[in-house]
Structure 1
């Protein structure tokens, strides 16, 4: 047997024994039982999460101090006028009656009517959601495109204690920006790029360039958090025996790191990334207010000031649901990368 053939056999053995490798089921058919079991378990978890989200969004809002009827009626309204508004808004109904009405509306797609604008909450969200979605999607893409390669590159360069200065500098820099609040980072971006350098707009959504600073402000902390995890996981994976063997066989760098290292370090990194990326939806609220971005973030702050319960409930419900969907999507991606995360017997 020639040497290339021997090497090919050894590479196949390496790939089959790597931590992220899975055994093919007998008979050549892909078993659906791990995915079926996973879908059943996740469906129950998603349903429970949605129920808790609905309950929390309803009961947390009435705890906000102040009377929304006063905010709707105005400072000069009489007691009779305020009471009439409370009756018309259903605020005098028992809490359980309000909750039943709220849940019933959700089943029909009715999120209620804004107290302040006398407009459908669904219409308000439909108007503002595209701006928030644009910001969040671009932020998530930027986070994944920067954090994973950066963390992996530093992990490779500092493997085995090499380039200690790079490891220390990377840890200090990412730790600093991870700890700084988003509104501080966003304000610094405005001062530097909009006021001092005058190369980017400070606020608004009049042009595509207005997206740059909000997306960066939203993404810096998540990039640092995920990059630190990826660097640590890369260092751990590179010390595994199967990768030591692969380096001994002098496999091409791209094949070594992309094929053998990346899938195994992503399992832990993406698990944390799912939580961080979902948290970016909440961070968008802060960033939107700093940059005067016309999304759900600005709208919910205005609704809190006006005691506009239906708008607050609707926005929190939508953001919470998007976070649940995002976490589910990350879990599915993890299952495709490493079937062991499904909790089934894919490795058996």
Structure 2
């Protein structure tokens, strides 16, 4: 078990490191970052001078080291007193952009937002609780609906209950989030007037976004529960329990569902990780004040530090959640850690 945990931690570290390389490349693939940061009426000479002052003309490995470790630490390691003096001078200039020196990813610093001129990660963390709330409510809805639906579908196989559940699951996996969100807005907000279309001023504002975000997870979990229950219901120990005269619902819940729950727990954790890192479309449709809505606004305004901070945070959460789920899976089923 210990070896398995260490191996999974190393794999997660490698995955997150690869993600950081992609995050760092976001600004590099735009060309010269100085051209993005400078005003539109800047001359080529001004852009080149600013690029040199900011260190964008330095080799990519040095820029990446500063992105990860921080400008101050890299300058100290390289002995770049001249670079530090330039940075200090720019930081004292009230008209200079507040993005000169960062403490690096290892200290959670992605620089300042170009638009808001406040730390990018701080702004992302302000919106992150709303994304977490939306993801948790969506997963809760998915679990509450999918587990009973999957159990009933397997228990009453080839009946109208099974057919209804299967068709509903196929519909849930086929319906795009943005389309479902628009349909819910038209029906429940515009036509019926029961629920608001956007924002977050009361608890009921989360109903439509959470249903939209959780539909796909509901469909996947329902199909998995049904599949696992069908396998377990055919096992010898289930038939033995029935032959002893145990009530059917006790056989289903205590014997069948309990043994079919391990893959379901894994999928629920995986879906939670996906929702924490992938509610951008839902948040954009409902103007939900989460990280996804912030990222869309940052992309439209070319505010790359916010995009970098948001992608790094959501990727870290996704990797961490999957690591915890894998360890939990190995703990529930020790065969996994020895495979």
TM-score by length of 2: 0.82
User: In 2 relative to 1, CA 240–332 (structure 1 residues): closer, same or farther, beyond 3 Å?
Assistant: same
Which structure would you say has the larger RCO, counting Cα contacts within 8 Å and 6 or more residues apart? 1
The Cα shift of 1:43 comes to 2.0
Give the RMSD, CA atoms, in angstroms.
2.3
How many residues are paired up?
305
2:177 corresponds to: 182
Structure 1 residue corresponding to 2:206, chosen from 196, 205, 211: 211
2:300 corresponds to: 305
Q: Distance in 2 between matches of 1:288 and 1:251?
A: 48
2:64 paired with 1:99: yes
The Cα shift of 1:210 comes to 0.9
TM-score by length of 1: 0.80
Q: Secondary structure at the match of 1:123?
A: helix
CA contact (8 A) 1:229 1:269 kept: yes
Q: Distance in 1 between matches of 2:262 and 2:336?
A: 8
2:336 corresponds to: 341
Q: Distance in 1 between matches of 2:20 and 2:184?
A: 36
1:124 corresponds to: 123
Q: Distance in 1 between matches of 2:332 and 2:252?
A: 15
Q: Secondary structure at the match of 1:340?
A: coil
Q: Distance in 2 between matches of 1:56 and 1:187?
A: 32
1:7 corresponds to: none
Q: Distance in 1 between matches of 2:296 and 2:331?
A: 39
The Cα shift of 1:87 comes to 4.3
User: In 2 relative to 1, CA 60–74 (structure 1 residues): closer, same or farther, beyond 3 Å?
Assistant: closer
Unaligned runs of 5+ in 2: 70-103
1:75 corresponds to: 40
* Partner deviation per Cα, 1:51-103 (whole Å, 9 max, x = no partner): 2222222224533x466544544433443444455445543332212210111
Structure 2 residue corresponding to 1:238, chosen from 217, 220, 233: 233
CA contact (8 A) 1:263 1:337 kept: no
Q: Distance in 2 between matches of 1:257 and 1:333?
A: 24
Q: Distance in 2 between matches of 1:259 and 1:339?
A: 21
The Cα shift of 1:329 comes to 2.5
* Partner deviation per Cα, 1:302-340 (whole Å, 9 max, x = no partner): 222233222211111110111112112322332343333
Q: Distance in 1 between matches of 2:148 and 2:51?
A: 56
The Cα shift of 1:110 comes to 1.7
1:54 corresponds to: 20
Task: Map 1:79-90 to 2 at 5 A.
Answer: 79-87=44-52, 89-90=54-55
1:134 corresponds to: 133
CA contact (8 A) 1:66 1:307 kept: no
CA contact (8 A) 1:73 1:82 kept: yes
Unaligned runs of 5+ in 1: 1-34
1:250 corresponds to: 245
Structure 2 residue corresponding to 1:271, chosen from 235, 260, 266: 266
* Partner deviation per Cα, 1:134-180 (whole Å, 9 max, x = no partner): 1112222222222222212211121xx4x1x3323322221122111
User: In 2 relative to 1, CA 190–238 (structure 1 residues): closer, same or farther, beyond 3 Å?
Assistant: same
2:165 corresponds to: 170
2:324 paired with 1:325: no
The Cα shift of 1:230 comes to 0.9
Q: Secondary structure at the match of 1:111?
A: coil
User: In 2 relative to 1, CA 93–128 (structure 1 residues): closer, same or farther, beyond 3 Å?
Assistant: farther
User: In 2 relative to 1, CA 118–309 (structure 1 residues): closer, same or farther, beyond 3 Å?
Assistant: same
